Amino acid sequence: MPAGGRRVTVFAKSTAVSVSPVRPGKTYPLSALDELMGRHTLHLVFYYRPGPTLDREGLKESLSEVLSHYPAVTGRLGRGEDGGWTVKCNDAGVRLLDARASVTLEEWLGSATAEEEMELACWEPMGEDPSIWSPYYIQITEFEDKAFAIGLSCTHMHADPTCAILLVRAWADSHRRASIAYAPFFHPPAFLPRPDPRPDHPLLSLKSSSSALAAAPKMSSATFRFSDLAVKSLLADLQADASPFSALAALFWSRIARASGVPPGPGELTLFVDFRKRMHAPLPHGFYGNALHFSRARADLADGVAHVADHLGRHVAGLQEEEFWAAAEWAYERRRRGEEAFQMYGPELTCLALDHVTAYGAAFEKEGEGGRPAHVSCRVGGADGEGVVVVLPAAEEGAARTVVVTLPEEVAKTICRDDAILRYGPTVMFAGRG
């Protein structure tokens, strides 16, 4: 055991650069939607069992190769002529950390806390000089059994969860010497205001004026891994035409409200939806940046989980392209007025629909256990308040899902013991002690 009881030791820090230089003077302006996420960070951890081609030096080599396709990742932030953030694509590279864990992968997955897991995705916030700060931190951690964890942390201004996950998948494709399945698509004018902009978004307007917390609660995280059979059992119990996302979102919303002391009755849940493929002219999967929409769903929690799941499903299905444009134009209007970013995740309970992401396609080997990830985690930083619920795929195919919650500490403890959730037999991982 390392000194101080820590099981993860970072033993080297360096910079990973691309093998191909960027054209001098190349820049990439962030969109107003990107800048709206300035208060938040993303933290991903991909776990891989031992494999014949999984070694530290090989991973570093393929990382440098894939970074040649991502000039905005290796650049540094600066201010553009309009005062907005712009990436100066100057080959500065990404911050790279080498680490070791003093346990096997299976021991880690069975015993690590959420705080320990964050040690696999180290992060340093921006300092006074953004021109020397890397917006991306990548950590390669080797376990005692030669398994690996790949941690990626980045500013949410650069990427939403879909974008960040596809960066790791592109890295895996490059490592296998395969074509990148979802090549990055850089197109900053994608959400420029229309000729007749209608910048009206009631939810974001409300959040921007009321997002400050009087006293941020101490937050705690936990991960629930539901098997295919477990989710199908939940769907059968609901006896409703619900998706795995709407069913799990409804279940956790109801139980979190109860654990928080909210009386049964009408309630609201802020939802996150990726709209890359919901536009009339769909964006490529690999669109770089933020293509996300926040909206508020309403349901009466007293009517039961099946009723709530039905409302959530109909709300997500009913989102229209006009709403996405209105939100983007509202964000540009804020930037034009020079207004600062505010807290997007929270302070009210926020749920992310990420079950569309292809995280488990990030296979670093063609065959064997070391190919697909054994597990993938996703957390959002800066989400103080009532908390965040993230629903994403699980390693098992089918309806299996992983739910990652970040909640006030006492609420998180209660949720980890909640009979209505545990009846479906999820594997509870990365929870707090006690």
Shared domain check, 181 and 267: no
What is the distance between the alpha carbons of residues 403 and 225, in angstroms, rounded to a whole number? 6
Evaluate the CA torsion angle 330, 335, 337, 342 in order and state its sign: positive
What is the distance between the alpha carbons of residues 284 and 170, in angstroms, rounded to a whole number? 14
Sorted by sequence, the CB contacts under 8 Å of residue 343 that are 6+ apart come out as: 39, 40, 207, 211, 212, 213, 382, 383, 384, 385
- Residue of 97, 96, 91 whose CA lies nearest to 75: 91
Token pair, residue 45, equals 């951890």
Among the candidates 159, 188, 217, a domain finishes at 188
Q: What is the pLDDT of residue 214?
A: 56
What is the distance between the alpha carbons of residues 175 and 362, in angstroms, rounded to a whole number? 10
Residue 79: strand, helix, or coil: strand
C-alpha separations of 200 from 330, 362, 367 in Å: 6, 38, 50
Residue 351: strand, helix, or coil: strand
What is the distance between the alpha carbons of residues 128 and 88, in angstroms, rounded to a whole number? 17
Q: Strand order in 350-353's β-sheet? A: 292-300, 266-274, 350-353, 388-393, 401-408, 219-226, 427-429
**Rounded (10°) angle between helices 244-259 and 305-317:** 130
Shared domain check, 411 and 266: yes
Shared domain check, 240 and 179: no
Q: For 198-247, write each residue's pLDDT tens digit.
A: 777 766 666 666 655 556 789 999 999 999 999 999 999 998 889 999 99
Shared domain check, 406 and 273: yes
Q: What is the pLDDT of residue 2?
A: 46
Cα dihedral 292, 219, 143, 181 in deg (nearest 10): 0
Q: Is residue 196 part of a domain?
A: no
Number of domains in the chain: 2
Neighbours of 201 (CB within 10 A): 24
Q: For 248-271, write each residue's pLDDT tens digit.
A: 999 999 999 999 999 889 999 999
Q: What is the pLDDT along the chain (434 residues), one digit of tens a residue?
A: 444 579 999 999 999 999 998 888 899 999 999 999 999 999 999 999 998 889 999 999 999 999 999 999 999 999 887 788 999 998 899 999 999 999 999 999 999 999 999 999 999 999 889 989 999 999 999 999 999 999 999 999 999 999 999 999 999 999 999 999 999 999 877 888 888 887 777 666 666 666 555 567 899 999 999 999 999 999 999 988 899 999 999 999 999 999 999 988 999 999 999 999 999 999 999 999 999 999 999 999 999 999 999 999 999 999 999 999 999 999 988 888 888 888 899 789 999 999 889 999 999 998 655 589 999 999 999 999 999 999 999 999 999 999 999 999 999 999 999 999 999 999 999 997 54
Q: Is residue 194 part of a domain?
A: no
Q: Is residue 425 part of a domain?
A: yes
Angle at alpha carbon of residue 385, lines to 37 and 45, rounded to 5° = 60
Shared domain check, 211 and 164: no
Torsions phi, psi for 198 (to 5 deg): -130, 75
Residue 396: strand, helix, or coil: coil
Shared domain check, 79 and 214: no
Sorted by sequence, the CB contacts under 8 Å of residue 98 that are 6+ apart come out as: 10, 11, 12, 13, 14, 56, 139, 140
Beta strand residue intervals within 263-419, DSSP E: 266-274, 292-300, 350-353, 375-381, 388-393, 401-408
Shared domain check, 225 and 118: no
Q: What is the pLDDT of residue 81?
A: 79
What is the distance between the alpha carbons of residues 191 and 335, in angstroms, rounded to a whole number? 13
**CA 48 remoteness from chain centre:** 19
Amino acid at 188: P
Q: Is residue 193 part of a domain?
A: no
Among the candidates 128, 161, 188, a domain finishes at 188
Angle at alpha carbon of residue 12, lines to 7 and 15, rounded to 5° = 130
Angle at alpha carbon of residue 112, lines to 59 and 123, rounded to 5° = 55
Among the candidates 157, 188, 219, a domain finishes at 188
Helix (H) or strand (E) holding 420: helix 419-422
What is the distance between the alpha carbons of residues 112 and 223, in angstroms, rounded to a whole number? 11
Shared domain check, 261 and 354: yes
Sorted by sequence, the CB contacts under 8 Å of residue 184 that are 6+ apart come out as: 69, 70, 166, 167, 170, 286, 288
Q: What is the pLDDT of residue 197?
A: 81
Q: What is the pLDDT of residue 205?
A: 66
**Rounded (10°) angle between helices 228-238 and 305-317:** 100
Q: Is residue 303 part of a domain?
A: yes
Q: Is residue 404 part of a domain?
A: yes
Token pair, residue 200, equals 């009206």
Domain CATH code at residue 113 = 3.30.559.10
Shared domain check, 250 and 118: no
Q: What is the pLDDT of residue 1?
A: 45
pTM confidence score: 0.95
Q: Are 223 and 43 in contact (CB under 8 A)?
A: no
Shared domain check, 247 and 169: no
Shared domain check, 304 and 276: yes
Q: Are 61 and 219 in contact (CB under 8 A)?
A: no
Q: What is the pLDDT of residue 224?
A: 98
Domain span holding position 227: 202-429
